[in-house]
Structure 1
């Protein structure tokens, strides 16, 4: 057999072996890296899907929390991992799309360094005000902000969070202006809103619901296309007179770029089934979120649209982590 034929046989053999290896995946535990501490929205979503993935694919799925640098510590770890399907990134809007821009450190880019697998959940936000603020509707809040620009204070859990970006979007759409008070996390921002030190904020419905229900805060509008069942009396922004304010905090699963497509498709198919289970749907609903899986292609298109929508707002507003 000549040298060319030997090379051809070797190539075929390698292809077959690689295909067999991918078909056997997973053969050991899989790590899901979360960019936040335990207990938050992203961490809870990861822990809700991990048992189902283990049951479907036959290996443990271990959640590992790696907070810091706006989620970039976790993101960079996964981006630099072997693309073998054994290290995954449980991402959200900020760590995946915005942190490299806001921190001015291009440690990774979502479309260059990651392979999207599937969305997991979507959590809408609500604009809520302290009870003492003389604004019973969104229109009244915007009137206050326009009459005295910069006087009202909006509590943000951090620069470049979805909560912050939605606030910037509303200002750009309406011409209203307020002062943004940046906090190191959602808990202190919520505490100051409840204490009346700030006037309003945007928060995930999962966090805001108890305070709205007991009257400690007043909800003016939700960032959904239709009213939220848990807040049936609160209008959407479109109903309240402002178009283009649909937004949500997403969670989703990604792998390092170069991960074999059959591995991505196995994960996506498993997640789609898990997220359609009534018990999982109910668990996410209790958190104020919608459980929703997608194909790698669908999730990629969604991320591209989110990137195109929010990046110009970040740049126009000059948002940085400093």
Structure 2
């Protein structure tokens, strides 16, 4: 019986290896959990041409927005683990949304295979120009003087942007209303139009508007000041402790996807992200091109999970 099991295991291994050797034989889909134009979508569209060139098959970006990114996440989690469907994940859709929406549709460590990070992006706390505040402390003071009057634009419940806002509320005792949108693009559109007052947004999305003076930056969430906004302090410099945060983007595959395919994608993405033009493009957008091995990405996700999920649960953050 033991010999039979060993033969079966060897057969499965050889079949999987042969399958990976022939991969890809058709177009590959990268599923984005937000509408076109946001941080996660931009990252997917920057790497897709390079991956297509590396493997000789199209890499198609498909947007499936909604439910804090869970529509896309669940779609990929339930997809066949054959190397033809990948999830362009970010903190919110991958780690937080299942908890905040109270839906056990998937778990990052149960239903996905980590492939590689793509980018690391700090956020910026930004306000509409007409709001009479120029520092983080002035924003906090204004919110306390006008409790509930300010509206904060969130690209979705459970996103890093939303959690940074909740963290700031908890640390300062200020009060404002949170308006959730289906992605960065509609959120920043309303911020530019004055329908909402401020937001935390990824630098890759916000930088052009900040450079043009259409929005005013108050602070960044990076460890140190950014070269693209040298005069803008960090949240830590602004008096908010433990406020360093980045939004990652990264590729995840359905659980059971052959390891050889994961390694091939990771290695190819690493080469794509070494391209000076890609590096410059990410830097121009305020992000850092950043690849990892599947093992390193999994370890990073574990640390992020351990940092933020207890905060979500303790604060009782939920859309239900």
TM-score by length of 1: 0.88
Aligned-pair distance for 1:235?
0.9
* Equivalent in the alignment of 1:254: 252
1:211 paired with 2:209, answer yes
Name stretches of at least 5 consecutive residues in structure 2 with no aligned partner.
none
Give the counterpart of 1:23 among 21, 24, 37: 21
Conserved? CA contact 1:168–1:313, under 8 Å:
no
Q: Is the 8 A contact 2:35 2:183 kept in 1?
A: no
- Tell me, in whole angstroms, the C-alpha distance in 2 between the residues paired with 1:190 and 1:6: 60
Tell which deviates more after alignment, 176-185 or 84-93.
Answer: 176-185
**Aligned in 2, Cα 1:214/1:66: closer, same or farther, shift over 3 Å?**
closer
| Distance (whole Å) between structure 2 residues aligned to residue 50 and residue 191 of structure 1 | 26
Q: How does 1:26-65 map to 2 (within 5 A)?
A: 26-65=24-63
The farther-off stretch of 166-175 and 6-15 is: 6-15
Per-residue CA distance 1:39-63 (angstroms, 9 max, x = gap): 3322222222122112223333222
- Relative distance call for 1:197 and 1:20 in structure 2 (3 A) is closer
Aligned residues between the structures: 320
Distance 1:67 1:15, change over 3 A: same
Aligned to 2:199: 201
**Normalized against structure 2, the TM-score is what?**
0.89
Structure 2 contact 39–184 (Cα < 8 Å) conserved:
no
**Deviations 1:259-301 (Å, cap 9, x if unpaired)?**
2222211111111111111011112222222111011111112
RMSD over aligned CA atoms reads 2.6
1:255 alignment partner, SS class: strand
Cα distance in 1 between the residues matched to 2:255 and 2:140: 44
Which residue of 87, 111, 126 corresponds with 2:85? 87
Q: 1:125 aligns with which of 101, 123, 126?
A: 123
Give the Å deviation of 1:10. Answer: 6.3
**How big is the shift at 1:190?**
3.2
Which stretch has the larger CA shift, 84-93 or 61-70? 61-70
SS of match in other structure, 2:318: coil
SS of equivalent to 2:26? coil
Q: Is the 8 A contact 1:75 1:89 kept in 2?
A: yes
Q: What residue ranges of structure 1 are gaps of 5+ in the alignment?
A: none
Pairwise mapping of residues 141-220 of structure 1 onto structure 2 (< 5 A)?
Answer: 141-147=139-145, 149-220=147-218
Pair 1:29–1:173, CA change in 2 (3 A): same
